[in-house]
């Protein structure tokens, strides 16, 4: 669910205890969380909730989802990592937002979760995935962005167009890959003719990727 301000000074937020819905955007001024910080927090949260450290593909995918839902940290009021809605009993705040797409698109007011810290927000996000979207967790383990988006769509995480959401996630992941590539292990040496050349080419491609990219 994408949050949009209906007028200057009116801003959206989400909250789950937990019912997320779509891209989460807000104009609430706050110190911006950067991608490396989000990646570290999500990795720690995954380890704490899932029980084992995530590999680079998993943290890259989770970070891409965070970037999609928060405009790379520019819009995450209350340390909400992914536009998570609040249940009536959960700490939250109401903001205008948009649900649906196409002819079903409508402006609504919804309550979104508010957290005391970014750590708490990251933990609740991963906890939500683990408890309500197990197929998304499996896809994240495999670094499967299409499967991750599909699992979220099937579980009702967002109300945006599923193909547009998946494409947006893939774009965010691609934007993060120059950084993520430096964390990935080298693949096994390919067999057969040309295997050594292909492995060398892969190494050169990684060497020419620079982590100077600024998340967009």
Q: Does a structural domain hold residue 4?
A: no
Q: Does a structural domain hold residue 14?
A: no
Q: Does a structural domain hold residue 60?
A: yes
Which residues lie below 8 Å from residue 155, measured CB to CB, with a gap of 6+?
132, 133, 135, 136
Q: How far apart are CA 1 and CA 172, in angstroms?
A: 17
Q: Does a structural domain hold residue 9?
A: no
- Token readout for 190 is 């390919």
Length of the chain: 216
| pLDDT profile of the chain (216 residues), mean per 10 | 38 40 46 91 97 96 95 89 84 71 71 91 97 97 96 92 94 79 43 50 46 38
Q: Does a structural domain hold residue 134?
A: yes
39 neighbors 175 (Cβ within 8 angstroms) = no
Q: Does a structural domain hold residue 87?
A: yes
Looking up residue 167, the CATH number of its domain turns out to be 1.10.530
The 10s digit of each residue's pLDDT in 144-167 is: 999 999 999 999 998 888 999 999
Residue 86: per-residue pLDDT: 81
Distances (CA, A) of 141 to 22, 43, 60, 137: 22, 12, 10, 6
Residue 7: per-residue pLDDT: 34
Q: Which residue has the tokens 């007011």?
A: 109
Longest Cα–Cα distance in the chain: 63
99 neighbors 6 (Cβ within 8 angstroms) = no
Residue 146: per-residue pLDDT: 96
Q: Does a structural domain hold residue 73?
A: yes
Residue 27: per-residue pLDDT: 42
How many independent structural domains does the chain possess?
1
Q: Does a structural domain hold residue 39?
A: yes
Q: How far apart are CA 183 and CA 60, in angstroms?
A: 10
Distances (CA, A) of 163 to 146, 158, 166, 196: 9, 12, 5, 38
The 10s digit of each residue's pLDDT in 100-135 is: 666 767 677 678 889 999 999 999 999 999 999 999
Distances (CA, A) of 200 to 3, 4, 56: 46, 47, 21
Residue 83: per-residue pLDDT: 86
Residue span of the structural domain in which 172 resides: 35-183
Burial class (CB in 10 A: 0-12, 13-18, 19+), 147: middle
Residue 186 CB coordination number (10 Å): 9
């Amino acid at each position: 669910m994408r949050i949009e301000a209906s007028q200057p000074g009116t801003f959206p937020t989400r909250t789950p205890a937990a019912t997320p819905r779509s891209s989460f955007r807000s104009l609430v001024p706050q110190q911006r969380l950067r991608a490396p910080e989000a990646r570290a927090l999500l990795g720690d949260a995954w380890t704490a909730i899932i029980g084992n450290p995530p590999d680079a593909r998993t943290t890259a995918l989770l970070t891409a989802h965070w970037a999609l839902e928060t405009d790379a940290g520019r819009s995450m009021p209350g340390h909400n990592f992914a536009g998570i809605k609040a249940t009536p009993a959960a700490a939250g705040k109401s903001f205008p937002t948009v649900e649906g797409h196409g002819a079903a698109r409508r402006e609504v007011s919804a309550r979104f979760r508010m957290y005391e810290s970014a750590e708490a927000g990251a933990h609740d996000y991963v906890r939500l995935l683990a408890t309500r979207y197990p197929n998304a967790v499996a896809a994240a383990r495999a670094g499967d962005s299409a499967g991750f988006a599909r699992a979220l769509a099937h579980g009702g995480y967002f109300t945006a167009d599923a193909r547009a959401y998946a494409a947006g996630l893939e774009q965010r992941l691609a934007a993060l890959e120059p950084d993520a590539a430096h964390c990935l292990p080298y693949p096994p040496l390919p067999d057969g003719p040309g295997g050594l050349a292909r492995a060398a080419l892969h190494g050169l491609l990684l060497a020419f990727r620079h982590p100077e990219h600024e998340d967009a």
